[in-house]
Every structure is written in structure tokens, then in C-alpha cells.
Amino acid sequence: MPDTHPIPTAPGGGLVPAPLSIDGPGRGTVRLGADTALAAGPGTEDTARWLRDTLGAAFGLPLPPGSGTTPDTLALAVDPALPPEGYRLAADARWGVRITGGGPAGVFWGAQTLRQLLGPHAFRRAPLAPGRAAVLPEQTIEDGPRFAWRGMLLDVARHFLPKDGVLRTLDLLAAHKLNVLHLHLTDDQGWRIEIRRYPRLTEVGAWRERTKLGHRASPLWDECPHGGYYTQDDLREIVAYAAQRHITVVPEIDIPGHSQAAIAAYPELGNTDVIDTTSLKVWDTWGVNPNVLAPTDTTLRFYEHVLDEVLGLFPSPFVHIGGDECPKDQWRASATARARIAELSLADEDALQSWFIRHFDRWLTDRGRRLIGWDEILEGGLAPGAAVSSWRGYAGGIAAAKSGHDIVMCPEQQVYLDHRQHASPDEPVPIGFVRTLEDVYRFEPVPPELTAEQAAHVLGTQANVWTEVMDSQQRLDYQVFPRLAAFAEVAWSRLPAPAARDYQDFTRRMAAHYTRLDALGVGYRPPGGPLPWQKRPGVLGRPIDGAPPNV
């Protein structure tokens, strides 16, 4: 019996990110109700399971298996004639809804679009109106992504995010058709991955005695010890959960800088002929730390053993090794470092860092993986297979692409989501430049200086979420959303040049998208500014005035 009070949906659904084309909506409607069957073709099993877990839960639908031959059917299929992540979603009253993808990922992204078309109710975990059908207008959507790498970096080293928060993050990435989670697992302020060969990395390195509140110049401290880490089974679960959502988790193990937590756990890793490394603790403040790894065989073997376990947990073809912000003062003062420079006939300490990076590039290549690092790894030369995350601006990415290296564009001045969203003094812990929703929407990942051949090295783009001043899920939500929605459209959709982008249309679609975020419980920054409980009065930030430089 048909449902007499269906849940309506808006024509076009206010889709974010915007699809390539929408044909419709037509005059008819398609109803998903108690009699709707789910016909899952080969290669669509993960999406079928996801649909039952999400839409089934949200609308109280059993979605039993079906053949796809009746009008009341939700059918999933793979058609290799489409691009691997491309899809076609066709809703027709004669045969229901068909989602066809070029591969399993394409089918999944099509299912994400269906969820958006069904309105905010589809983002609830239980039905608000049990027994009521979901209805969508007849329409056909053709879609596919601009970039293969559509990512977000999540820094869990500065402030630990428990496993459930990471799983929630993966769901939010999937809802925005983002497919890379770059997990920043180690830094001066904490080591977050269990390494069974070296238990002190988590026994000691995962915990700090206190934490600076706000910018490093702030006089305030949180005296509560902070820490946590993921067991190897936690990480296997995270990776498997991500894979079901066609998301790759790229681990980052930072070397040779940003390493005080590791040195605190194993003092022999530091420059013992310069400082008493046994006195070092996990760092409790922010900034660039002078305590870096020693360029010794002991250090190389230690991190090879660490990476052996990392490779066993993360099937990602890329492993990020950091390589940024490595002060050379201790190496200049170290007889051991100077001897290594002489032994290798290196020019200076910058070349010593390049040697460090090249060692692990070869080590990863020998094991079928690719090294990726921050753009400082270009200094001193880079092995042919290595890729670059361009963070200091566009320049590193431009230089890398012109040298034949693949790049991921994530310039600090454009897509660092720890930067403040407004110039108002009410912004909580204001850091960096003002980067509004519109600023992010007008970000262009491919520098115009690149030729077509060079631009082909742009794997994609990612937004970076550094958590020095994000000490809770609430703070993460506020800084990340709604800007991640704008970023997702930049990464997925084939937008015109930045100045020609229709920001008014985007904000119109965001009106619908805010209701989805509300249903998901995301504590985003409202368009009118922070709510009272989102403010952090008295906690010092570091705002930078003016427009960010285009470097």
C-alpha cells in the first residue's frame, strides 16, 4: 500500500558539491518506501550495505534484496564505460532509481548524491516519521570528479581525537565526496600510533603533562595531562571503515623535525652530543621545535622498523614523512652530524636533510610505496618518484611540477582551516589570515603558470586541519565547517575561473546543506557568526591582517 504522507524533497536537492549536469527535475516522482527493494550488482556490495545502514535507518526501510525488474527498485550497477569515480543517477517513475558507476567508488558517490536528494531526514540515524516514504522528482544526474586526490589533513598529534571522532570524520568526508584522509600521527606534542617494537613511543610519547591554551604567546595553560593513541587494531578498523567509503588513509610519520615526542621516549634518537636528550619531555607548547632527529644509523634503523609496522597497517600507496620545519642548529653544533656530512661529501646541513629524505624515499620505493612530503623536501633535490604537498604557498608545487614531480596543492594561505573565518573579535582563538567561506570557494588548485603537461602532475588538493587551538570535537566542527563544503566543491566540481564562480548559487545550495549538517550534528560556524558557546573569550590567538600573499 502506498504511503499517504511522503517526505518531500526539493527539486535538484541543493547538491554540494555541484554535479556536472542535472536533467530535470521531471513532472513525475519516485517513491522509496517499505516495498522498495535494493538490487546490488557485482562490485556494489559496500554501497548496498551503506545504503541499508544509512537510508534504511533514516527512513525505517528494510531495503530487501531485489532483482531490479520492478518499478519500486533502487538498483546499483557498475559500467566500466563510465570514468572510475563517475556515476549516473537516474530517477524515473517507471522503474525507480538506478545508480550506475564506472567503478565501485562511482556507485558510492552516486549514493551520496541520492542521500542529499532525499533531504535532511536522510542524514538522521532513526526515522522522524516511521512509515513515511521518501520521494524525489524524476531526474538524471551525470557526474564525476575533477581531481583524483580530494583530501583533508587531520592533525591528531597536537590534540588527540578518539577513534570514534576519526570514524565520524570519515563519514563527513564521504558525505562531501572527499576521498583522502591524511592522518598526521606524530609530532613534538604527541605520538599517536602503537608501534609494538617500541612500546615507549606510546607509553611515554603519547602523553604530555600540560598544554598551552591558545597561541604559543598566550600566558594560559591547561594543567590537565593530555594524550592518547590508536592501537594497531584501532587503525585497522579506521582503515577498513575508510575503505568501505572509498577513502584512502595516508599516514604521516614526521621526520627529521617535529620529533620531540619520539626523542622523549627514546633519547638516543636525538643529538646527544649537543643536549641532554634524557631531559626532554613531550612538548607542551606550539611552534617550531629545535630538537630534531640525529642523522645516525641508529635513527635510520629505528624509523625503518617503525615504517615496517606502518606499512602493515596502511595499504595507501603513499606514505607521508613530513620533512618540514627542521631547524639545523643542533646539526651545526653536532660533531656526529658534521662527521656524517663529511662522510657523505655533502655540502651542508640542508643537504643532510635531503639525504635523510632520500634514504626513506628509496626504502619506501623498494617496498612498492611512494614517499610524499611537505615542500621543503625539494631543497637539495628529490628522487623521481617522490611527491610533494605544497603548503607554504603555490611556489613549491610549481617547482615540483616543473621538475616532473606529482603534487598535492594545500597552500597555507588558502586552505588551512585553522585560519580564522572572519575579522570579528568574536572569532574563537583567531589564527592567521581571514579565510571566509567565499575565499575557500574561490581557491584554485592548479597554478596558471603551469603548462598542460605540468598541470597533469597536480594529483589534487587537500584542506589542512592543524589542531594546536582545536582541543575538542566542537572546536574542530567550528573551524572545518562550512568551509570544507566549499573546498569539496573546488576539489570535485569543474568550476570556472575563481572570479567567474557563482558564489550566490553556492550559498543558495548551502542553505539546503546546512540542514544536512544540522541533522548530522555538526557544530559549524553559522553564517551570522559564532554562537555564544562557540566563542573562546580571553584565549589569545595570532591574527594576521590583510590579504594573504600569493606565493
Cell for 334?
653536532
Distant-in-sequence, close-in-space partners of 2: CB < 8 Å, separation ≥ 6? 31, 33, 133
Residue appearing with cell numbers 623536501: 377
Question: What does the alpha-carbon distance between residue 284 and residue 280 come to, in Å, rounded to a whole number?
Answer: 11
The dihedral region occupied by 487, where left means phi > 0, alpha psi between -120 and 50, and beta the remainder, is alpha
Task: Specify whether the CB–CB gap between 252 and 183 falls below 8 A.
Answer: yes
From the candidates 258, 320, 405, 457, which is the catalytic residue?
258
C-alpha 88/C-alpha 79 separation (Å) is: 10
Distance from C-alpha of 415 to C-alpha of 401, rounded to nearest angstrom: 20
Query: Do 369 and 317 form a contact (C-beta atoms < 8 A)?
Result: yes
Q: Where are the beta strands (DSSP E) in 204-294?
A: 207-208, 211-212, 221-222, 226-227, 248-255
Strands 407-409 and 431-432 come out as unpaired
Is residue 189 within 8 Å of residue 283, measured between CB atoms?
yes
Q: Is residue 17 reached through a cis peptide bond, with omega within 30 degrees of 0 on the bond before it?
A: yes
Judge whether 258 counts as a catalytic residue.
Answer: yes
Q: Which of 46, 155, 187, 194 is catalytic?
A: 187
**Is 325 assigned a catalytic role?**
yes
The catalytic position among 79, 92, 325, 444 is 325
Nearest of 434, 526, 466 to residue 215 by alpha carbon: 466
> What distance in Å separates the CA atoms of residue 476 and residue 462, rounded to the nearest whole number?
16
316 contact partners, CB below 8 Å, separation of at least 6: 248, 249, 250, 251, 369
Q: For residues 227 and 171, is the Cβ–Cβ distance under 8 A? A: no
In DSSP terms, 92 is beta-bridged to 96
343 labelled catalytic: no
CA distances from 551 to 78, 398, 455 (A): 43, 10, 17
Cα 9 from Cα 91, distance rounded (Å):
13
Q: Which letter, b or e, does each residue of 158-189 get, where b requires 16 or more Cβ atoms within 10 Å of its Cβ?
A: bbbbebeebbbbbebbbbbbbbbbbbbbbbbb
User: Three-state SS for 496?
Assistant: coil
Residue keyed to cell 554562537: 531
Q: Mind telling me the catalytic residues? A: 187, 258, 325
